[in-house]
Amino acid sequence: MRGNRHYVHLAIMIALSFISMYILMYAMVNRFANVYSNLNQFYMAGLMTAPIVVIELALMGSARTAGFRKKKRGRAGLQSACDELIDKGAIITGE
């Protein structure tokens, strides 16, 4: 359970990032009456949040599983995270 708290913090960060991106889309609106929410803006906030999640997962060394940390112990954190993403991409594409 202790290891899962990092993912809870990640989920909270994702939710806060999404909310802030959604609100920032209305930064140039001069009156609240001119705010019209629609599905496209919800989708755009999700698109803006997605790279934040990828970067955070790549840099968040403490959230990796114990086996992954043991296997990649000698490498720098960012390099091993990039290697993991490359390995996952190779699995997905079938290469």
pLDDT given for residue 20 in this prediction: 92
pLDDT digits (tens, 9 = 90+) for 29-63: 888 888 888 888 889 999 999 998 888 888 776 55
Query: Which whole number is the average pLDDT over 12-19?
Result: 92
Distance from C-alpha of 69 to C-alpha of 60, rounded to nearest angstrom: 12
Q: Which residues contact 23 (CB under 8 A, 6 or more apart)?
A: none
The span from the first CA to the last CA of the chain, in angstroms, equals 35
pLDDT of residue 9: 83
The predicted pLDDT at position 5 comes to 76
Name the token pair of 41: 């803006």
Question: What is residue 55's predicted lDDT score, i.e. its pLDDT?
Answer: 85
Neighbours of 80 (CB within 10 A): 19
CA 60 to chain centre: 10
Tell me, rounded to whole angstroms, the distance of Cα 21 from its chain centroid: 13
Band of residue 19 on the pLDDT scale cut at 50, 70, 90: very high
